[in-house]
Amino acid sequence: MIIRKAINKDIESIHSLVQELADFEKEPNAVKVTPSYYRKCFEEGIFQAIVAEDQNEIVGMALFYMCFSTWKGKMMYLEDFVVRNQYRNSGVGQKIWDELIIESKKQGSKLLKWQVLDWNINATRFYEKNGAIIEKDWWNGKIIF
Provide the annotated active-site residues.
127
How distant is the alpha carbon of residue 55 from its chain centre?
21
The residues that bridge with 29 in the sheet, in sequence order, are none
Q: What is the amino acid identity at position 129?
A: K
DSSP letter (8 states) at residue 10: G
Which H or E element spans position 20? helix 11-24
Cβ(71)–Cβ(36) below 8 Å: no
- Measured from the Cβ of residue 104, the count of other Cβ atoms closer than 10 Å reads 21
Taking CA atoms, 17 is separated from 54, 72, 103, 130, in Å, by: 14, 31, 21, 23
